[in-house]
Structure 1
């Protein structure tokens, strides 16, 4: 896929620029903390809490939430395992990431995709939180790059994937 080579070169340049930032240790520590917020536990806590507090509407919203995450995870898994893009540590000679990723491939960023899906779904119930949720989603994407486990386009596509699935599921009323 030669047409992707210019994108790969830009991605590599942006990645190396991120890795050359001053205060790498501080960025790495912040990145680990932010990345952990997108490990999945927050989504579970939210949906259980929302379902319990909003019992009358909660059942339908829980089904919508679960169906959105099932669709997003399925698309993510198919993309991840069909594109099979190497992570930065495997693609760049003499580079080691700052954390050990949970899977082998880089594209798209699952943490970023899930974070943006969560942001869209939560903002549908609490619109005033949208700026904060988008800011958090962007920080999750940046954390994945600064931890050395994703290239910038992995996180951009992840953000687009999560947002798109969220909007589609919300407008269609869910699957289940």
Structure 2
């Protein structure tokens, strides 16, 4: 069996396992997390809270987070989803009702995860405490995307990688511009 076949089979097994996870915690907490993350509402709310309550450091962290999130959304939803057409996990793998509320777009990559990872990774260097606080819902968003049947774990991993790259790009841009102006 080839490496790609092994990875795909593992991806499919993990999708079924996470989607079948039936606990009170998952049923009560994951749907509200998904609702809060829709249209990046959760991250905009976090940015507003940081901007109002965090002084100059909070405003810098919020600006970095929002900018990185925008770059990640452009890369994941504007570029990657158009380049890679991947079907969502089969409905019969998802043993709960959330499977009916899935997007029609390509499964690859997870735009929700890209936005969440970008926001969190861009916030953390400016304000580590806020970055740590944002990391909890970021992980929950990633888990929810697989649990709901919207994505495979590899879609979520790709979204996280895009988010981290977007945050690194945003964090490096001022230094790159300073070097270019010299």
Given the two structures, how large is their TM-score scaled by the length of structure 1? 0.78
SS of alignment partner, residue 118 of structure 2: helix
2:180 corresponds to which residue? none
5+ residue gaps, structure 1, are none
1:164 corresponds to which residue? 165
Q: Distance in 1 between matches of 2:47 and 2:118?
A: 13
Q: Distance in 2 between matches of 1:129 and 1:58?
A: 8
1:30 corresponds to which residue? 29
Q: Distance in 2 between matches of 1:175 and 1:69?
A: 19
Q: Structure 1 pair 174/43, CA: closer, same or farther in 2 (3 Å)?
A: farther
Q: Structure 1 pair 165/131, CA: closer, same or farther in 2 (3 Å)?
A: same
Given the two structures, how large is their TM-score scaled by the length of structure 2? 0.76
Q: Distance in 2 between matches of 1:57 and 1:132?
A: 15
Q: Is the 8 A contact 1:18 1:146 kept in 2?
A: yes
5+ residue gaps, structure 2, are 178-182
Q: Distance in 2 between matches of 1:93 and 1:130?
A: 35
Match of 2:92 among 76, 91, 94: 94
SS of alignment partner, residue 41 of structure 1: helix
SS of alignment partner, residue 87 of structure 2: coil
Q: Structure 1 pair 153/174, CA: closer, same or farther in 2 (3 Å)?
A: farther
Deviation at 1:118, TM superposition (A): 1.2
2:148 corresponds to which residue? 147
Q: Distance in 1 between matches of 2:132 and 2:65?
A: 20
1:6 corresponds to which residue? 6
Deviation at 1:50, TM superposition (A): 4.3
SS of alignment partner, residue 38 of structure 1: helix
1:68 corresponds to which residue? 68
1:133 corresponds to which residue? 134
Larger mean CA deviation between 148-157 and 123-132 belongs to 123-132
